[in-house]
Structure 1
Amino acid sequence: MKSKLLMYFQRMKGGKKHHPKRSFSKVIWSWLGAFIGIYSISIVNKIIDTNHTDALFLLGSFGASAVLIYAAPQAEFSQPRNFLGGHILSTIVGITIYKFLPFDIPTLSAIAVSLSIVVMYLTNTLHPPGGATALVAIVGSPQTHKLGYLFVITPVLLDSIILLIIGLIINNISGNPKRHYPSYWF
């Protein structure tokens, strides 16, 4: 028993070294993509009159996506299949949970996020910010709840397409052959 407990805690030590600093060029391209992407979806959400609170929640979720798409464009979580599928499927999960289960917000939130993880795993679309998008469908404003499944189209799909297009443009402008996007579509 003591040896298993010791092994358990030794696993928490880590052991690998952190990655070296990124090149200045990579930092600038990542910054540019994130700036243009988040600014663009902020403007679009303002134009389509997304509720201010919902827009802030969504920006948190899409801000995390921006880190993946622009700073780690080769990561599995960043690929279009994962990015689009993760946000869309998780939003559908969140809306469905909110509409059909009669629990309080903390319970609905836990169910929506955990079930969105299951759905993303089963569909091979794991995108961590998708869990946050499922949460927005639960804790969003009455305007979000009134939209129902239209919330999937606008603002979620619309914002996703904007970030994807900017990701395609910015990540492929660089002359660096290692910086391209995507690695695969589906």
Structure 2
Amino acid sequence: MSAVSLLQKMRGAGVSPPRVGAPEILWSFLGALGGIAAVAWLHERIADPAGLSLLIGSFGASAVLLYGAPASPLAQPRNLIGGHVLSALVGVTVRLAIASPDWLACAVAVAAAIALMHATGTLHPPGGATALIAVTGGPKLLALGYLYALIPVLSGALVMLAVALVAVNAVPSRRYPQYWW
């Protein structure tokens, strides 16, 4: 059996997910560029000089959903905001409740965040990373305590949402959000 035919068999007889065209790639790129640039610029100019942070790694994953898959149920405002904020609160609570071992705090934070997002209808996969960051973040983030849920989490997510409203809706073939709440 040739390598090509083996791959086709593994993919279900040659069926693979549809690819997007160049315009979709361009608009996803521009949206992500604008969203992350806005959050990073605000971090550099406002938050960091004030001793705060506005930029966390899970926002990169949110950018994939918001700008690359804006019709996804996981990318809608309720999921973006609720998923991040609830996960941040869970992560901080777990960090305060379980001082060690670290592996247990990490596992409980992510698992509890997923459960809470499911229970509240706010599932946003980057929320798992937001909870994990609350447990494993550096001293600057850990010192924030529950403020972490507001700055950087809520404020950064709101900036990305604002950019998504403009960037995604700038194209007639794209629409965001599909629903608000």
- Give the TM-score category using the shorter length: 0.7 to 0.9
Change (3 A) 1:122 1:181: same
Aligned to 2:80: 83
1:185 and 2:174 equivalent?
no
1:30 and 2:25 equivalent?
no
Aligned to 1:99: 96
Q: Equivalences for 1:149-160 in 2 at 5 Å?
A: 149-160=146-157
Gaps of 5+ in 1: 1-12
CA distance in 2, matches of 1:40, 1:106: 33
**Residue type matched to 2:29 in 1?**
W
How far did residue 102 of structure 1 move?
3.1
- Is this contact kept in 2: 1:51–1:143, CA < 8 A? no
TM-score by length of 1: 0.85
Which residue of the other structure, out of 141, 159, 162, is the alignment partner of 1:162?
159
The CA RMSD measured in Å over matched residues stands at 2.0
Gaps of 5+ in 2: 1-9
**Residue type matched to 1:28 in 2?**
L
**Paired residue secondary structure (2:108):** helix
Aligned to 2:4: none
CA distance in 2, matches of 1:72, 1:143: 32
**Paired residue secondary structure (2:143):** helix
Aligned to 1:67: 64
1:114-144 residue CA offsets vs partner (Å, 9 max, x unmatched): 1100000000100000000001100112222
TM-score by length of 2: 0.87
Change (3 A) 1:63 1:125: same
Of all paired residues, the percent bearing the same amino acid is 42
1:73-115 residue CA offsets vs partner (Å, 9 max, x unmatched): 0001001111111100000000000112232221111110011
Report the count of equivalent residues.
169
Moved more, 13-22 or 122-131: 13-22
Change (3 A) 1:14 1:118: farther
